[in-house]
Chain A
Amino acid sequence: MMAVAQAKTDALSARLDALDLPRGGFTRAARAEALARLQAMGLPHRRDEYWKYTDPASLIAAEAPAAALFDNGEPPVFDTIDRLRLVFVDGVFDAAASDDPALAGVEICRLAEADAADIHWAKSLYGVLEARGQDPVARPLAALNTVAARDGMLIRATGRAAKPVSLVYLHKSETSDAILHHCVRVEEGAELTLLENGPAAARFNKVLEVDVAAGGRFHHIRAQGRDHERRAVTHCFARVGEGALFKSFTLTANGQLTRNETVIEIVGDRAVAHVAGAALGDGGFGIYHHDDTVFVTHAAEDCESRQVFKKVLKNGATGVFQGKILVKPGAQRTDGYQISQSLLLDEDSQFLAKPELEIYADDVKCSHGSTSGAIDETALFYLRSRGVPAEEARALLVLSFLADAIAEIEDETIQQEITSRLEGWLARRR
């Protein structure tokens, strides 16, 4: 044990030495506090229970492992959607490549600029939800992000946003190591759709803190970049208020290593929180390892949460799901649901699932399920008997498998965009 603790501390020292830590303005106290927490926990280690299925070595290394650039010539995801684009190149905001950040119903400013001042609305958010999300499970890479992030967006919806805000992450340097930290507040009764797409960097550490006030509605749709060699660890910390809605969907295809953590705290009665993911993993391009780790805490009455995760794995790809629903005392009439499923297209791939329920209220409806399976041969035959060639039929059945996760996207246009991307990717792979 001592050896592991020492290794974690040593890893942290090496990582911090390689970083030029910002002093911070309004974030200064949050950064200092996060650094203290981080020093107490050290960086993740393979021997940590929470990292049992995913080796954090490349995520914690002092230097980011290089990742080749990838351009298959296809237009970026969400290209057809009317949105406000905010572009980051290797983790640095590029104002010239971005739209004018003026949008009815939304205030947008850049962390790097806002942090020159001591006062900002995001002071009550930056590192705050991240800190709340450290209990009961430590998330050191999120704390590291709070300490080290220089850039990101601070987005505050005060009304109904006129169109989606879209964070576009471009990867242009093979050795880039990006750290971004975004804060989003959806004020009472306001509504915002946030889109994210792109690989961001060779290695990407991102934190998104989202506070949805009473009656607010937040939609998050993300397509992680397709660069085969990129690595990413992302955390989304959400706090959901009374009668509010939080919905998050992530599409992941490719990438060597992806760890997406979603930590949701439902604090207001009658709130709804859904988190979903569809992942396509092909180990044929090297390593493919995709990890969804979710922690939903119910701390209010009459709330609903859903976790819907689907993974399609082949050529030795690995999929991981760690999902927990914690129902606190008094969170009566909680309706919690969790499903994680994998479609294994060959015998070399594996899916590791750890579903958990922890319930301290007595009037609660909670369920979870996890399955692993192959393509349904009867359905495949049915499609082929109608003249659909085998490969096309398999692609249709993959889409069929992912449908429940994709259905979690409320906006039909965006849902269609994600579906057509998937269709294209599945078609090209054969």
Chain B
Amino acid sequence: MLNINNLHVKLEEEDKAILKGVSLDVPAGSVHAIMGPNGSGKSTLSYVLSGRDGYEVTAGSATLDGADLLEMDPEERAAAGLFLAFQYPVEIPGVGNMTFLRTALNAQRKAKGMDEISAGDFLKLVREKAKALKIDAEMLKRPVNVGFSGGEKKRNEILQMAVLEPKMCILDETDSGLDVDAMKLVSDGVNALRDAGRSFLVITHYQRLLDHIRPDVVHIMADGRIVKTGGPDLALEVERNGYGDLLAEVG
């Protein structure tokens, strides 16, 4: 589904290479995790894939079901089925959560040549998805992420994911700032979305999230490259020994 080949990326503003040849293949229905120390380029990868400004791709490619992601605007990538759950979800005062969700859903439907969803159907859809994530009506009414706790913001990201039903979900440090209960809620939300046609790329610094969202494949990223790939055991190895040993081992 997601195919990244020899991706090289530098910062637009300065001549600093961040990704130095990342290759990755995430087939449909699978969950891949990327772990790595701070500054390894994990978040940059998520931003480049979703189309944030400020990065320049100097070589390589990234495709979603064969379509060239790097040629698309962020909204086109979303319509193509890509979703990024932000590490720091953005607060948007004055725009209601429901308005935001409806605008996003209808924009994607329009891009796919579908009619807008009716107000009644939309309300029903959101209520149902919100209930599973323990997001109450009050939270839905409030402006997007304004005054939300860290846990609420992350649950709100998963709610958006559940409503928009992307096929490729990237979770950028979704566990950061979450306590155990919130992590369980968020993970349950993600797990409920797992199916044969949907893939996940879970970016995390710690292994603990992967106890809840069990990956099929774990990649270790360091200095802009994927340096090691393995099964779920690789995450446990990081947990036990830290990144130091592992990085020394791969040189």
Contact = CB atoms under 8 A, between A and B. Distances in A.
A404 B51 contact: no
Interface in A389-411: 389-390, 392-393, 396-397, 399-404, 406-407
Contacts of B111: 387
Given A377-B53, A381-B52, A381-B53, A386 B94 contact: no
Contact of B107 (A379, A387, A402, A403): A387
A232 to B, nearest CB: 27
A396 B100 CA distance: 9
Interface in B53-84: 53, 73-75, 77-79, 83-84
Given A386-B160, A386-B164, A392 B95 contact: no
Interface residues of A, number: 26
B107 A389 contact: yes
Given A377-B53, A379-B90, A399 B95 contact: yes
A390 B78 contact: no
A241 B83 CA distance: 56
A386 B105 CA distance: 8
Which of A376, A383, A392 has the most C-beta atoms of chain B within 10 angstroms of its own C-beta? A383
A251 to B, nearest CB: 15
Contacts of B84: 385
Question: What is the size category of the interface that chain B forms with chain A?
Answer: 20 to 34
Interface in A133-166: none
A80 interface: no
B73 A390 contact: yes
Contacts of B204: none
A111 to B, nearest CB: 39
A382 B89 contact: yes
A396 B94 CA distance: 9
A23 interface: no
Which of A379, A381, A385, A390 has the most C-beta atoms of chain B within 10 angstroms of its own C-beta? A385
A383 B83 CA distance: 11
Nearest to A388: B107
B197 interface: no
Contact of B93 (A383, A385, A400): A400
Contact of B90 (A378, A399, A404): A378
Interface in B146-197: 160, 164
A397 B104 CA distance: 14
A269 B53 CA distance: 53
A384 B77 CA distance: 9
Nearest to A382: B90
Contacts of B93: 400, 403-404
B52 A400 contact: no
A390 B92 CA distance: 15
B64 to A, nearest CB: 14
B50 interface: yes
B103 interface: yes
A388 B94 contact: no
B78 A382 contact: no
Contacts of A389: 75, 107
B52 A388 contact: no
Contacts of B107: 386-389, 392
Contacts of A400: 92-95, 143
Contacts of A397: 92, 95
A382 B50 CA distance: 10
A397 B108 CA distance: 19
A397 B111 CA distance: 21
Contact of A381 (B74, B79, B94, B95): B74
A384 B92 contact: no
Contact of B50 (A383, A385, A396, A404): A385
- List the 8 shortest-distance A-B pairs measured between CB atoms, nearest first: A403-B94, A387-B78, A384-B74, A386-B104, A387-B108, A400-B94, A382-B90, A387-B107
26 contacts: A378-B90, A379-B92, A382-B89, A383-B92, A383-B100, A383-B104, A384-B51, A384-B73, A385-B77, A385-B78, A385-B84, A386-B78, A386-B164, A387-B104, A387-B111, A390-B75, A392-B103, A392-B107, A396-B92, A396-B103, A399-B94, A400-B143, A403-B93, A403-B94, A403-B95, A404-B94
Interface of A: 376-379, 381-390, 392-393, 396-397, 399-404, 406-407
Interface of B: 50-53, 73-75, 77-79, 83-84, 86, 89-90, 92-95, 100, 103-105, 107-108, 111, 143, 160, 164
